[in-house]
Amino acid sequence: MSFLLTALCAAIFVAGLWCYGLAFQIDNDMLQLLTFVAGMFLNAIAFFIPWQLTGHSRK
């Protein structure tokens, strides 16, 4: 389970990075903005998923 979660989150993170690069290749300004914001959202989700599924350590 841990490996699958890691692989999924890594793939989501890489997709977010790919969106950053793709945003600078699009001619339409609005699509550039939406693609860049989608990349930020994907990277945030890549960190959010493991934090919520594995929980926080309570010491």
Residue 44 located in a structural domain: yes
Residue 48: the pLDDT is 92
Residue 47 located in a structural domain: yes
Q: Two tokens at 7?
A: 């692989």
Total of domains in the chain: 1
**pTM score, whole prediction:** 0.82
Residue 28 located in a structural domain: yes
pLDDT in tens, 9-59: 999 999 999 999 999 999 999 999 999 999 999 999 999 988 887 766 555
Q: Two tokens at 37?
A: 């914001």
Q: Residues 31, 35, 41, 42: is their CA dihedral positive or negative?
A: positive
Residue 59 located in a structural domain: no
Tell me if residue 15 falls in helix, strand or coil.
Answer: helix
Integer CA distances (angstroms), 50 to 5, 34, 36, 44, 53, in order: 7, 25, 23, 11, 5
Query: pLDDT band at 2, cuts 50/70/90?
Result: confident
